[in-house]
């Protein structure tokens, strides 16, 4: 598979109970928060499309959104390969 650009997003509507009680928002249970979900779904799909070739450069958003406990609720990144492929 060849691509020049690929853009992914992972989102869902989290109710107040989720934002307070789910394993993904507890630093002692799953400190990766949204980064873990993005890695599992978005990055895995991107790497599959790139035949598992790792990017040369990864630039992450400077200010991810964190909850009160410091767990990431929202973040983003751009990935760049030597051959010009770009993914977000």
Whether 25 and 19 have beta carbons less than 8 Å apart is answered as yes
Residue 38 has a pLDDT of 84
E-state strands within 10-60:
57-60
Q: Could you tell me which of 28, 22, 6, 7 has the C-alpha nearest to residue 73?
A: 22
Question: What fold does the segment set 5-87 form as a domain?
Answer: Dihydrodipicolinate Reductase; domain 2 (3.30.360)
pLDDT in tens, the chain (88 residues): 688 999 999 888 889 999 889 988 999 998 888 888 888 899 999 999 999 999 999 999 889 999 999 999 999 999 999 999 999 9
> What pLDDT shows up at residue 1?
63
57: tokens are 């450069």
Give the model's pLDDT for residue 12.
85
């Amino acid at each position: 598979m060849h691509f020049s650009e690929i853009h992914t997003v992972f989102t869902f509507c989290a109710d107040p109970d989720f934002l307070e009680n789910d394993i993904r928002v507890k630093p002692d249970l799953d400190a990766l928060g949204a980064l873990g979900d993005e890695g599992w779904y978005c990055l895995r799909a991107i790497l599959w499309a790139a035949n598992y070739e790792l990017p040369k450069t990864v630039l992450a958003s400077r200010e991810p959104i964190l909850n009160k406990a410091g767990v990431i609720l929202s973040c983003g990144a751009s990935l760049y390969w030597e051959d010009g492929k770009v993914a977000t």
